[in-house]
């Protein structure tokens, strides 16, 4: 076998291997982008015969687009081989995504070429995107539930060390009265101190929780906030045999808000409304959530119930933390709602419903107005 034939054989074998690859492989003149070699996958991706064409509108990085850190057009033979590109690019025609890696090297005829390989990663990317979305949803849901339930849960938790401390102290007092030796009291006092530390840890956890949920305000459609919050409220309404009516004025502008926090506010107000209607029946078991533009700068949201209403006396303390009239209440709901609304430069107001019951309203700033 002569040398030329051996060289040809080797090239054919290499081409057969490259054609067998699922990844698209190409070599292009580094100076002008003319394609010198393309394997079967690359040709299938870009149609018929791509060799001889210039790399435009194909799934390849482009120097004109600033895809490279070092412009390959200026590379000389002494600069190669070197890594040129490693990134993800979309195929504009099909919308599929490719991981593309390019290297600069010396071609058989002495020219500098870009040798590239592109692998289809659309499926992998889609799976990752779905997983990310799902995770976001789960953590949003978790936050919605936890913020509402957090207060009562933590209060319960903090109650345990506190009552333990009370017991230890009472025990000590009783023994001291009975003339016990100071040393006998030591273990009980140490235990009380340990319980106090435990309570401290719980409080630190609350602080961390609050820190984590600092507002992240973005432009959000009002309907998006209400849809999400009321999806939770619907479940409550069905369970309690109550009706939930939603009335969103058409064409509302986006508001600037931390959507999860505002969802939480709506949910808290709705649940309070349901609680207030627990002895009502028939038509009166209707809770209405209404949203409309108050003016160009503010959107107003109202939660309207037909419940037992609020006495003059209670109205004074509604927003104070831990004020509650419910057996299982925590009294944190309205306090949290008010601070969230104020973080949004709004005001949470309460008035009597002329038809019986209570109306809570709050405002959110219109995105456009904030940006001006
Ligand atoms: N829609 C409402 N109708 C009548 N009373 C309400 C309403 N919302 C809140 N309240 C009163 O305000 C109190 C405090 O509410 P909140 O801060 O949410 O705490 P909680 O719901 O745990 O009691 C309630 O216990 C109730 O007495
Ligand atoms: Mg409440």
255-257 vs 286-293, strand pairing mode: unpaired
**What residues make up the domain containing 104?**
3-120
Residue of 103, 134, 138 whose CA lies nearest to 117: 103
Q: Whose CA is nearest to atom 18 of ligand 1?
A: 333
Instruction: Output phi, psi for 70, to 5 deg.
Output: -115, 125
Choose the residue to mutate in 275, 277, 355, 356 for probing ligand 1, maximizing ligand atoms within 8 Å of C-beta: 275
Residue 152 has pLDDT above 90, yes or no: no
Q: Is pLDDT at 56 greater than 60 in this prediction?
A: yes
- Are residue 143 and residue 192 in the same domain, yes or no? yes
- pLDDT at position 76 is 87
User: Does a structural domain hold residue 131?
Assistant: no
148 lines ligand 1 (CB under 6 A): no
Question: DSSP per residue over 135-204, as a string?
Answer: HHHHHHHHHHHHHHHHHHHHHHHHHHHHHHHHHHHHHHHHHHHTT--HHHHHHHHHHHHHHHHHHHHHHH
d(CA 80, ligand 1 centre) in Å: 73
2 pLDDT tier (thresholds 50, 70, 90): low
Q: Give the closest residue to 38 by CA, choosing from 119, 116, 90.
A: 116
* Alpha-carbon distance values, 339 to 143, 148, 222, 363 (Å): 17, 14, 19, 13
- 206 and 261 share one domain: no
Strand partners, 140: none
Closest atom, ligand 1, to C-alpha of 305: 1
**Which numbered ligand comes closest to the C-alpha of 326?**
1
333 Cα–ligand 1 center, Å = 8
Count structural domains, the chain.
3
Q: Does the pLDDT at position 138 exceed 70?
A: no
Residue 331 dihedral angles phi and psi, to the nearest 5°: 70, 20
The CB of 359 under 6 Å from ligand 1? The reply is no
Residues 12 and 151 in one domain: no
At residue 277, the pLDDT reads: 96
How far away, in angstroms, is 272 Cα from ligand 2 center?
Answer: 5
Q: Is 244 in the pocket of ligand 1 (CB under 6 A)?
A: no
Residue 356 CA to ligand 2 centre (angstroms)? 19
Structure tokens at 301: 């949201």
Q: Residues 218-263: pLDDT tens digits?
A: 999 999 999 888 887 888 888 889 999 999 999 999 999 988 788 8
Select from 177, 212, 247 the last residue of a domain.
212
Nearest residue CA, atom 11 of ligand 1?
Answer: 318
Looking at residue 12, which CATH number applies to its domain?
3.30.450.20
Cβ contacts of 223 within 8 Å, gap of 6 or more: 248, 252, 291
**Could you tell me the two tokens for 190?**
């140490």
Are residue 168 and residue 97 in the same domain, yes or no?
no
pLDDT of residue 251: 92
The answer on 69 and 26 residing in a single domain is yes
CA of 360 to the centre of ligand 1 (A): 11
Does residue 208 sit in the same domain as residue 189? yes
Q: Do 168 and 260 belong together in one domain?
A: no
Longest dimension (CA), the chain: 114
Q: 324 C-alpha to center of ligand 1: Å?
A: 6
For residue 248, count other CB atoms closer than 10 A to its CB.
Answer: 17
Name the average pLDDT for the chain: 85
Q: What is the dihedral of CA 229, 144, 237, 286, to 10 degrees?
A: -50
Q: Considering the domain boundaries, does residue 133 fall inside one?
A: no
Could you say which DSSP state residue 63 is in?
A: G
What pLDDT is recorded for position 137? 65
How many CB atoms sit inside 10 A of residue 199's CB?
Answer: 17
Contacts of 10 by beta carbon, 8 Å cutoff, 6+ apart: none
Q: How many helices (H) and strands (E) does the chain have?
A: 9, 12
Reported pTM: 0.54
Going by alpha carbons, the residue nearest to atom 13 of ligand 1 is: 324
Domain end residue (candidates: 212, 242, 258): 212
Q: Which ligand is nearest to the CA of 357?
A: 1
Query: 284: CA distance to ligand 1 center in Å?
Result: 18
């Amino acid at each position: 076998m002569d040398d030329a034939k051996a060289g040809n054989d080797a090239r054919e074998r290499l081409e057969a291997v490259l054609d067998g690859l699922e990844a698209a492989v190409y070599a292009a003149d580094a100076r002008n982008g003319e394609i010198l070699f393309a394997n079967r996958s690359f040709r299938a991706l870009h149609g018929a015969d791509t060799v001889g064409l210039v790399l435009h509108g194909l799934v390849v990085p482009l120097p004109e687009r600033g895809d490279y850190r070092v412009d390959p057009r200026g590379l000389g033979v002494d600069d190669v081989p070197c890594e040129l590109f490693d990134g993800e690019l979309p195929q504009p025609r099909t919308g599929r995504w490719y991981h593309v890696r390019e290297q600069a090297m010396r071609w058989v005829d002495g020219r500098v070429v870009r040798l590239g390989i592109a692998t289809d990663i659309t499926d992998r990317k889609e799976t990752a995107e779905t997983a990310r979305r799902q995770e976001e949803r789960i953590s949003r849901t978790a936050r919605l539930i936890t913020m509402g339930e957090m207060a009562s849960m933590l209060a319960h938790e903090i109650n345990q060390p506190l009552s333990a401390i009370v017991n230890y102290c009472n025990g000590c007092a009783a023994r001291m009265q009975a003339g016990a030796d100071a040393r006998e009291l030591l273990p009980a006092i140490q235990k009380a101190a340990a319980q106090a530390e435990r309570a401290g840890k719980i409080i630190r956890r609350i602080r961390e929780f609050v820190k984590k949920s600092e507002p992240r305000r973005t432009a959000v459609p009002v309907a998006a906030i209400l849809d999400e919050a009321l999806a939770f409220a619907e479940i409550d309404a069905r369970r309690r045999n109550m009706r939930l009516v939603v009335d969103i004025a058409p064409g509302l502008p986006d508001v600037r808000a931390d959507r999860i926090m505002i969802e939480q506010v709506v949910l808290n107000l709705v649940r309070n409304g349901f609680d207030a209607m627990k002895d009502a029946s028939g038509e009166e078991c209707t809770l209405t959530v209404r949203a409309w533009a108050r003016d160009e700068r503010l959107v107003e949201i109202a939660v309207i119930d037909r419940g037992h209403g609020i006495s003059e006396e209670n109205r004074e303390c509604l927003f104070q933390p831990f004020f509650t009239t419910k057996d299982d209440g925590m009294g944190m709901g309205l306090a949290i709602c008010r601070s969230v609304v104020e973080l949004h430069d709004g005001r949470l107001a309460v008035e009597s419903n002329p038809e019986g019951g209570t109306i809570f309203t709050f405002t959110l700033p219109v995105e456009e107005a904030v940006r001006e």
